[in-house]
């Protein structure tokens, strides 16, 4: 008599093991890098995209194979930062910003101002504040070379400031993740002026959260001397400092306000000491480079043209530039009102508030790039680490970035 094999109920059949979330993340990063390599018209970006895609794919395969997140992250960093950076340094290729910073340092040493007197084409303009020229001083003094390249010093400043802003004992994983994230890995390899600004903003908020008003003012003042995008961090830090001083030390309103005023005064004096000498040396050039060019008020048009609302309004709507600037002003006003009515109580809250404000500013600027999103991204990662030290922080990052 023939025997029959009992059928296994559907709910008892062996299911394939789930794909690790880390593998999915690295696979998405690989696809994004490959897309940039295929679509970008910039040589350094294509080099980064091809190399980073392989690095991210290798990290995804390691995650699927059960290797530790640390090993996969190290491979991702090697493929998305170290290898393309070394290759681009060897062939002397970089993003335009790197050459602008190097030229500005040479002008600062020779003429006392980092700005050309008669800029004609977009490449002649230096839209950064005078402090940014500091990263080009090694090349201006010692000549062109792999060690003097401004992107190395900008990347080092970002990583150092971000690491100092992190809680002690939980720095390795966040640093590895943020360095491998495409929005950060790309400028680390090809050159990006926004990274040191973002790192210093995090450091300033961290010091303000610890009640160190003077040190916070120095960090924020240095950031404010690099780029206009750092200036919103100052009022956010002042609001945080006023609340944190009262909560942590049990101080009254007046001592807390004195701490906030001290931070603001130090920040303004630091920024003024780094900006005013060059600005007063050639005020017309300073205005043309740093104010008029970013706002699109010069004959030369900025190449920053990502399809964000402000750029679309300025390009396709009659009077759209004025409307975009009006929306930008309204966003700043709303941020100021939120600080007055409901000041942030923790450094994580302050970073989230600042990230939202910068996100709105990036959206409504007439000339903007997707690369500027590195500011809210870095702030969101830092806020997540501060909010929940330890392993769950990455889930918080994803929630904050997706908001």
Written as tens digits, the pLDDT of the chain (403 aa) is 445 555 555 555 555 555 566 889 999 999 999 999 999 888 999 999 999 999 999 999 999 987 888 899 999 999 999 999 999 999 999 999 999 999 999 999 999 999 999 888 888 999 999 999 999 999 999 999 989 999 999 999 999 999 999 987 777 888 999 999 999 999 999 998 999 999 999 999 999 998 899 999 999 999 999 999 999 999 999 999 888 655 544 555 667 788 889 999 999 999 999 999 999 999 999 999 998 887 777 777 766 667 778 778 877 888 888 888 888 888 889 888 999 889 998 999 999 999 999 998 888 887 777 788 899 999 999 998 877 554 444 444 444 444 4
User: Domain for residue 86, yes or no?
Assistant: no
- 67, burial (CB in 10 Å: exposed 0-12, middle 13-18, buried 19+): middle
Q: Are 77 and 180 in contact (CB under 8 A)?
A: yes
How many domains is the chain partitioned into structurally?
1
User: Domain for residue 73, yes or no?
Assistant: no
What is the C-alpha R_g of the chain? 23
User: Domain for residue 218, yes or no?
Assistant: yes
pTM assigned to the model: 0.87
User: Domain for residue 112, yes or no?
Assistant: yes
- Residues 353 and 327: their CA atoms lie apart, in Å, by 18
User: Domain for residue 103, yes or no?
Assistant: yes
User: Domain for residue 192, yes or no?
Assistant: yes
User: Domain for residue 344, yes or no?
Assistant: yes
User: Domain for residue 51, yes or no?
Assistant: no
**C-beta neighbour count of 269 within 10 angstroms:** 13
The pLDDT score that the predictor gives to residue 243 is: 82
| Torsion angle defined by CA atoms of residues 384, 387, 393 and 395, in that order, rounded to the nearest 10 degrees | -70
Residue 356 belongs to what domain range? 94-402
The pLDDT score that the predictor gives to residue 398 is: 47
Angle between helices 374-387 and 194-209 (to 10 degrees): 30
């Amino acid at each position: 008599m023939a025997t029959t094999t009992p059928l296994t109920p559907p709910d008892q059949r062996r299911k394939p093991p789930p794909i690790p979330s880390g593998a999915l993340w690295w696979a998405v990063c690989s696809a994004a890098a490959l897309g940039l390599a295929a679509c970008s018209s910039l040589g350094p970006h294509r080099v980064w995209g091809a190399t980073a895609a392989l690095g991210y794919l290798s990290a995804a395969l390691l995650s699927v194979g059960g290797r530790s997140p640390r090993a996969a992250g190290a491979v991702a960093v090697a493929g998305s930062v170290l290898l393309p950076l070394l290759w681009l340094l060897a062939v002397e290729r970089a993003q335009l910003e790197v050459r602008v910073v190097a030229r500005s340092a040479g002008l600062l040493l020779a003429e006392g101002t980092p700005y050309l007197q008669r800029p004609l084409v977009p490449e002649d303009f230096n839209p950064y504040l005078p402090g940014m020229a500091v990263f080009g001083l090694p090349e201006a003094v010692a000549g062109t070379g792999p060690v003097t390249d401004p992107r190395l010093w900008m990347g080092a400043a970002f990583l150092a400031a971000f690491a100092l802003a992190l809680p002690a004992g939980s720095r390795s994983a966040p640093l590895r993740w943020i360095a491998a994230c495409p929005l950060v890995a790309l400028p680390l390899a090809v050159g990006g002026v926004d990274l040191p600004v973002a790192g210093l903003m995090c450091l300033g908020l961290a010091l303000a959260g610890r009640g160190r008003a003077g040190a916070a003012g120095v960090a924020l003042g240095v950031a404010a001397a690099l780029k206009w995008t750092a200036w919103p961090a100052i009022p956010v830090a002042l609001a945080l400092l006023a609340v944190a001083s009262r909560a942590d030390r049990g101080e009254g309103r007046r001592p807390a306000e004195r701490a906030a005023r001290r931070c603001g005064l130090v920040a303004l004096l630091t920024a003024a000491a780094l900006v005013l000498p060059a600005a007063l040396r050639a005020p017309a050039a300073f205005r043309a480079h740093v104010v008029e060019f970013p706002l699109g008020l010069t004959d030369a048009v900025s190449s920053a043209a990502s399809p964000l609302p402000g750029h679309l309004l300025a390009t396709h709507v009659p009077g759209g530039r004025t409307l975009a600037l009006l929306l930008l002003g309204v966003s700043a006003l709303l941020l100021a009102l939120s600080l007055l009515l409901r000041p942030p109580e923790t450094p994580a809250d302050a970073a989230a508030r600042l990230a939202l404000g910068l996100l709105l500013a990036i959206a409504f600027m007439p000339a903007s790039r997707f690369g500027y999103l590195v500011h809210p991204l870095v702030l969101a990662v830092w806020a997540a680490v501060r909010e929940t030290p330890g392993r769950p922080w990455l889930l918080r990052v994803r929630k904050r970035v997706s908001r």
